[in-house]
Amino acid sequence: MNIVMTVIRLIARPMLASMFVVGGIDAIRNAEALVDRSKPVIDKLVPLVQRTAPQLPIPTDPKSLVRLNGAAQVVAGLALATGRSPRLSALVLAASMVPTTVGGHRFWEADDPSTKATQRTSFFKNVSMTGGLVLAAVDTQGRPGLAWRARRAAQDAQREARHARRLARRDAKLARKNLPFG
């Protein structure tokens, strides 16, 4: 079973990453064309980030932010495709999908039924891809995750402490019995 999952990951990761590499390159090259659609999201997101993390040097120019998001998608997409830090890269891609989806596919604002349907389909396609990325972000490749290892270490420590306590009690009893005045 392990070899099957390894082969599946080897094939599935580049498949999942391909859209991000292509889309990221497109965003870098054609940032100007994407600015109008992304501006409403950028106008809300930038002040939020500035309030919550004022030390982050994020640009406020929409064109630069579109390019930055595109670059993050290219880098993380290539990392995911090649299996380099796949959990982190999937998490970065999932985070990049929030502004991409909300900014690029606001179907609820469309008046034309055809445009609304197309944007709704694209919106939920992106939501589905984000779900796949979240799954990839938690995939431990059959190895125990950090939370499991921490719980296991705590259980092992408790077991060792109980064992040490029993040994100490036994040794104390034996010592009391062997005392010349006891």
Q: In this structure, are 43 and 113 located in the same domain?
A: yes
What's the pLDDT at 13?
A: 92
Contacts of 130 (CB under 8 A, 6+ apart): 94, 97, 98, 101
pLDDT tens, position by position, 127-139: 999 999 999 888 8
Residues 171 and 81 reside in one and the same domain:
no
Q: Are residues 94 and 181 in the same domain?
A: no
My answer on whether 73 and 119 are in the same domain is: yes
48 and 113 co-located in one domain:
yes
DSSP code, position 108:
G
Q: Give the sign of the dihedral formed by CA 61, CA 78, CA 132, CA 18.
A: positive
Boundaries of domain holding 121: 2-143
Indicate whether 43 and 126 sit together in one domain. yes
Same domain membership, residue 67 and residue 28: yes
User: Same structural domain for residues 75 and 47?
Assistant: yes
Number of domains in the chain: 2
Residues in the chain: 182
Do 135 and 170 share a domain, yes or no? no
| Helix (H) / strand (E) containing 98 | helix 86-104
- CB contact set of 62 (below 8 Å; sequence gap of 6+): 35, 38, 39, 42
Contacts of residue 97, Cβ cutoff 8 Å, sequence gap at least 6: 126, 129, 130, 133
- Give the model's pLDDT for residue 182: 54
pLDDT of residue 40: 85
Instruction: Based on the fold, state whether residues 27 and 63 are members of the same structural domain.
Output: yes
132 and 155 together in one domain = no
Quickly list DSSP for 15-72: HHHHHHHHHHHHHHHTHHHHHHHHHHHHHHHHHHHHHH-TTS-----HHHHHHHHHHH
Do residues 89 and 170 share a domain? no
Task: Report if pTM > 0.75.
Answer: no
pLDDT, residue 2, reads 78
Q: Given this model, what pLDDT does residue 9 score?
A: 84
The C-alpha atoms of residue 173 and residue 177 are separated, in whole angstroms, by 6
Residues of the chain predicted below pLDDT 70: 1, 142-143, 145, 182
